[in-house]
Structure 1
């Protein structure tokens, strides 16, 4: 623990020019940023690599460029929020592809139900962030398709910074009230649309819970901001203020 704290106090080592260039070339969102914001992302990514342990699972190997790429993707939602968004956790676990987790639930009758979920990402409260490398690469190959698993899971990390996973990250009080009102209205309307059986423009997974609504909307902010603006203008406006303009705006 002493060694870990001492390492955190040291300034981060800058990402080497060649490594950063290759990481940006492999990360469409970083490549699309203006030079000033790209340099900001580079600084945040260096801090990420300094503070977080990146743990590949199984036979997966991640070189310097791949690690910088992961750091850039995770820091993309922090361009406006800042380094405080990295608080409260220390490890990024990377599976080669989608992974299975065991779930259990005891219903009202006291019956225990157990099953397995297949996931491409997960964010533990005060624990690691977990990503599927195959899905990270798929997002980068088609960056405007409405998906960005790293941004989704980082939205959960930001959401929990105030101690609650509820779809509202830490905000100044007046903005927090406005955010909660506008997101709740949009969420309720989206649930009604999903329940009606109509096909939705936004991934219906957003109807699972308020926190998933925020995380899915975050993906669209970065990967299809026009669609988000056309379907949920108030949500899009809040996210643009929170995250800054989408690289694909």
Structure 2
């Protein structure tokens, strides 16, 4: 599949974007099954996009994370996979990638409009994406995802799905769609599927899709995006219409 539009856009950056060394690239591809499974044209485009990601994003190792050139490349490569149909426009609006060695804590504040009471709690996360802010990742989970690539989980894909969702507005599960995709169909299909998993979770039933998808429509989109790349057969079985939409949105899954 050839993706129109963005290769010429990318050409403007070629003089400024340092290319990825052959040895370094080949080593990363050998370690990342999601990339290794791509056909030659998409792998070529992925390399260009990954170079642009590395050139335009700033990586910050926090909490003692040991973040070397190999792992920054692995993160950039996986973040670029969902961006293939869009190209550089998929990276708009943010700059920083924060990497912790493992799980990290985030303090949340909630204001109850009726009572005026503000409560705080600490959440333990493995990834997070801020609107117009950084992507935050657990390096331990990035490593786990390339060791178990087809288990339905991928923290970089999940957070990049949120970043795509945030391109036009705060995340709501309805990202800017590709030309030719029907927005009404997307909303109706995703909302129906989200409502189904919410009911299953509320009734205490086991779900084929990770129940975290029932937290919010934007989480449903991110969780099913992980499945598209790493366990599409399960997604097709659980929600065939959602699987079809995501294949149109992201292109063919690299999973066999």
TM class, shorter-chain normalised? over 0.9
Q: 1:77 aligns to what?
A: 82
Matches for 1:51-90 after TM superposition, within 5 Å: 51-90=56-95
- How far apart, CA to CA, are the structure 1 residues paired with 2:69 and 2:203? 48
Deviation at 1:81, TM superposition (A): 2.0
Deviates more, 1:108-117 or 1:207-216: 108-117
Q: 1:189 aligns to what?
A: 196
- How far apart, CA to CA, are the structure 1 residues paired with 2:17 and 2:209? 38
Q: Are 1:236 and 2:235 matched, yes or no?
A: no
Q: 2:226 aligns to what?
A: 219
Find the partner of 2:97 among 81, 88, 92. Answer: 92
Q: 1:131 aligns to what?
A: 137
- How far apart, CA to CA, are the structure 2 residues paired with 1:15 and 1:150? 20
Q: 1:3 aligns to what?
A: none
Deviation at 1:64, TM superposition (A): 2.0
SS of the residue 2:205 aligns to: coil
The TM-score with structure 2 as length reference comes to 0.91
Q: 2:32 aligns to what?
A: 27
Deviation at 1:63, TM superposition (A): 2.3
Deviation at 1:219, TM superposition (A): 0.5
Q: Deviations over 1:143-181 (max 9, x none)?
A: 111100100000110001111311011124861111111
- How far apart, CA to CA, are the structure 2 residues paired with 1:19 and 1:110? 54
SS of the residue 2:86 aligns to: coil
CA-based RMSD: 1.5
Contact in 2 for aligned 1:156/1:165 (Cα 8 Å): yes
Deviation at 1:68, TM superposition (A): 1.1
- How far apart, CA to CA, are the structure 1 residues paired with 2:169 and 2:206? 34
Q: Are 1:207 and 2:214 matched, yes or no?
A: yes
SS of the residue 1:104 aligns to: strand
Deviation at 1:111, TM superposition (A): 1.9
How many aligned positions are there?
242
Shift in CA distance, 23/9, structure 1 to aligned 2, threshold 3 Å: closer
Contact in 1 for aligned 2:131/2:170 (Cα 8 Å): no
Deviation at 1:208, TM superposition (A): 0.5
- How far apart, CA to CA, are the structure 1 residues paired with 2:159 and 2:135? 7
Deviation at 1:9, TM superposition (A): 9.3
User: 4+ residue stretches of structure 1 with deviation over 3 A?
Assistant: none
Find the partner of 1:49 among 37, 46, 54. Answer: 54
Structure 1 unaligned residues grouped into runs of 5+: 1-7
SS of the residue 2:166 aligns to: helix
Find the partner of 2:110 among 98, 101, 105. Answer: 105
SS of the residue 2:18 aligns to: coil
Contact in 2 for aligned 1:81/1:242 (Cα 8 Å): no
Q: 1:4 aligns to what?
A: none
Contact in 2 for aligned 1:123/1:156 (Cα 8 Å): yes
Q: 1:161 aligns to what?
A: 167
Contact in 1 for aligned 2:64/2:100 (Cα 8 Å): no
Deviates more, 1:225-234 or 1:105-114: 105-114
Structure 2 unaligned residues grouped into runs of 5+: 1-12
- How far apart, CA to CA, are the structure 2 residues paired with 1:97 and 1:164? 27
